[in-house]
Amino acid sequence: MRKFLIPLAVLLLLAGCGKPPLNADSRGRNIVAFGDSITAGYGVAEGEAYPAFLAKLTRRPVINLGVSGDTMRMGADRKSEISQHNPFIVLIEFGGNDAMKSRPLAETEKALAEIIDYVQRSGAIAVVIDTGGIFRMNAQSKMMKRMAKEKRALFVPAIMKGILNKSDLKVDTIHPNAKGHKIIADRIYEVIRPYTK
Give per-residue pLDDT as tens, 94-104: 999 999 999 99
103 residue type, one letter: R
Return the pLDDT at 18.
63
The DSSP result for 113-163, as a single string, is HHHHHHHHHTTPEEEEE----SGGGHHHHHHHHHHHHHTT-EEE--TTTTT
pLDDT at 13: 41
pLDDT above 90 (res 92): yes
Distance (Å, whole) CA 61 – CA 179: 21
Q: What is the pLDDT of residues 53-77, one digit of tens each?
A: 999 999 999 999 999 999 999 999 9
Q: Does pLDDT of 12 surpass 60?
A: no
Helices (H), 41-103: 50-58, 72-77, 96-100
Has residue 142 got a pLDDT over 60?
A: yes
Q: Quick one: average pLDDT of 11-17?
A: 41
All domains in the chain, ordered by first residue: 25-195 (3.40.50.1110)
Those residues with Cβ within 8 angstroms of residue 156's Cβ, 6 or more apart along the chain or in another chain = 127, 128, 129, 130, 187, 188, 191
Percent of the chain with pLDDT over 90: 86
Please check whether residue 177 is in contact with residue 44, taking contact to mean a CB–CB distance below 8 angstroms. Answer: yes
Picking from 121, 123, 92, the residue whose alpha carbon sits closest to that of residue 109 is 92
